[in-house]
A = this chain, B = another copy of it.
């Protein structure tokens, strides 16, 4: 019989509270079109009170090493999780980014912004297509298409401009939220 010098050490399965956290983030992840396992991992790490080893993520969540490896890599890439090196332990430990402001900024920078920039290019290719085919289309149709493309471009640019502002707003301490932006006239805020 082989000796068991270091007992596998961690429980298997989650306690009730941990599974509620996991549920929350699984829900969020799927809403954002991410794999369930990514939600599980982040939820588990978010609920942990100290950095947690790869091993333990696998054992406690009961997912495969493959899923854990890929999920952790992904979460690390998007800056939602970071590696923590623990002295005297060869394993890699992981920690969730719990500062939501950070998470939010990362998401804006890593996902939203690149997409909007991609859109800009796509709008440009719509516009050049209109120019190319203007003859064939006739000037009325061409004008119509140009107007639609211009609207797309306008809104995409606006979104791009709004990005840094959004970032700031989100990191503003709650009592500062500028809720009286009411120079626009419409006053629907003052409830019954």
Q: Which residue of chain B lies nearest to A122 when distances are taken between CB atoms in the complex?
A: B24
Q: Per a CB cutoff under 8 Å, which of B21, B115, B164, B165 touches A148?
A: B21
Do B165 and A119 have beta carbons less than 8 Å apart? no
Residue among A17, A20, A144, A145 having the largest count of chain B Cβ atoms under 10 Å: A17
Give complex CA distance A184, B137 in Å: 52
Map CB proximity to B onto A115-137 as digits: 1 under 8 Å, 0 otherwise.
Answer: 10011001101100110110011
Q: A21-B148, A130-B17 are in contact. Are A181 and B168 (CB under 8 A)?
A: yes
Q: Per a CB cutoff under 8 Å, which of B15, B16, B23, B168 touches A122?
A: B23
How many copies are assembled?
2
Task: Determine if A9 is an interface residue (Cβ-Cβ < 8 Å).
Answer: no
Task: Determine if A170 is an interface residue (Cβ-Cβ < 8 Å).
Answer: yes
Do B49 and A141 have beta carbons less than 8 Å apart? yes
Q: A47-B145, A49-B141, A100-B155 are in contact. Are A126 and B20 (CB under 8 A)?
A: yes
Give complex CA distance A126, B31 in Å: 19
Do A31 and B165 have beta carbons less than 8 Å apart? no
A123 proximity list for chain B (CB < 8 A): 24
Known: A17-B137, A27-B119, A162-B177. 9 other contacts (CB 8 A): A15-B133, A16-B132, A20-B125, A46-B148, A100-B155, A161-B174, A161-B177, A166-B166, A176-B184
What would be 13 A-B contacts, judged by CB atoms less than 8 Å apart? A16-B132, A17-B137, A20-B122, A20-B125, A21-B126, A21-B145, A24-B119, A24-B123, A24-B126, A24-B152, A47-B145, A165-B181, A168-B184
